[in-house]
Amino acid sequence: MSQAFIYDAIRTPRTRAKPNGGLAKLTPQELLNQLYHSLQERNRLDPALIGEVVLGCVTQSVEQAANIACTSVLYSGWPESIGGMTVNRYCSSSIDAINIGALKINSGQEQAMVCGGVEMMSRVPMLSDQARVFTDPAFALQCKILLMGSGADLVASLEGITREQADAIALQSQQRALTAQQEGRFTSIVPIKDPGTDTLIDQDECIRDSTTEESLARMKPAFSELGESGIDDYLLSQYPTLERIEHIHTAGNSPAMADAASVVLLGDEALGEALNIRPRAFIRAAATATADPLQVLTGCQAATEKLLQQQQLKVPDIDLFEIHEAFAATVLKYCRDLALPQDKLNVNGGVIALGHPMGATGAIMLGCLLDEMERQDLQLGVVAASGAAGSGSALLIERY
């Protein structure tokens, strides 16, 4: 049985999901094309060695429809022999894409895989695919699928998490991200050329360096009107011990929508020998799990707990955790339940500050984790993300 090694992990900057965002003029295929060729050049990679490209993408419509993994490979001019698969497990999609690639290498099906994700939220907005489960309230409740903000406020209400505590997590994310950017810690970023102006986009755009405790406190709850539409009454009927739903999440302590793409080069030992490169790490284990779908975003914690249990590890055994900040309350619950110290968690900020390009986020976090493990000379790391409906995925990586 082969071992799935991580040879490289690169990403674009995360830019604002707005028409004036740094990457908004590029189609998803154009963005991925630049990443593919950067991966090729950095590793002296012969693309003919790649068996398949697997990408996560959540909103698979318009420019991101029709199997973007396949179409982006063809657009790039890479060999037609390379297969393409696009996966959707909501916001953990690119972690699952990486796991699929690792499984194919472990089984000996492929020698090399390129896995990651893409989400151009300025061009293909969230929910623009008009899925019935997000447009038909009665059908959604039958499926127990709620919008993410409702789940986050439910978690806060169940856990007794206050607005002040949520804002403190958001402020910490902003401050850590700003420090990391100023110190050049995000070494997995590949500069992207704007085809219209030939300017380079090489920095994450979503960090708000003016964020303060006071500015966060002034923001209005983002999901109270949604609760008043009948969601709060439904949740209270499902959790009879709750007296009310506390709406503590705002634009300031929620993930920032963003554009980005990310790719990871996976391969067996023979690939490193063929390219004369050394692996950065290997994927030691993976886990997927589903938690309470009405809490929406606690699958990240369930997947982490399952992963640690399967590997007979405890939190002190892990050097760093890179965890999807799927709203502030879910981060606080994660830390409480796992007794996770803050100096091991998202030490360079999370998606509240840096942006959350849904289908690309997991692979981006993997690259950030590797960057920091190398900077601090650490050995074991966990990357985990939550998706909608309680889903979650996690990877345990070990530096080579």
Rounded Cα gap, residues 386 and 242, in angstroms: 24
Six-digit token pair at 90? 């909501």
Digits of tens for pLDDT over the chain (400 positions)? Answer: 679 999 999 999 999 999 999 999 999 999 999 999 999 999 999 999 999 999 999 999 999 999 999 999 999 999 999 999 999 999 999 999 999 999 999 999 999 999 999 999 999 999 999 999 999 999 999 999 999 999 999 999 999 999 999 999 999 999 999 999 999 999 999 999 988 788 999 999 999 999 999 999 999 999 999 999 999 999 999 999 999 999 999 999 999 999 999 999 999 999 999 999 999 999 999 999 999 999 999 999 999 999 999 999 999 999 999 999 999 999 999 999 999 999 999 999 999 999 999 999 999 999 999 999 999 999 999 999 999 999 999 999 999 8
**Residue 38: exposure state from Cβ atoms within 10 A (0-12, 13-18, ≥19):** middle
112 phi and psi angles, rounded to 5 deg: -140, 140
Rounded Cα gap, residues 306 and 55, in angstroms: 24
Task: Return the closest-CA partner of residue 300 out of 333, 317, 329, 324.
Answer: 324
Residue 195: predicted pLDDT: 82
Measure Cα distances from 272 to 4, 94, 132, 269, 312 in Å.
11, 23, 46, 6, 30
CA torsion through residues 219, 359, 114, 284, sign: positive
Angle (deg, nearest 10), helices 163-182 and 328-338: 90
Q: Which pTM does this prediction carry?
A: 0.97
Residue 1: predicted pLDDT: 64
Residues 301 and 392 sit within 8 Å (Cβ to Cβ) = yes
Rounded Cα gap, residues 211 and 350, in angstroms: 15
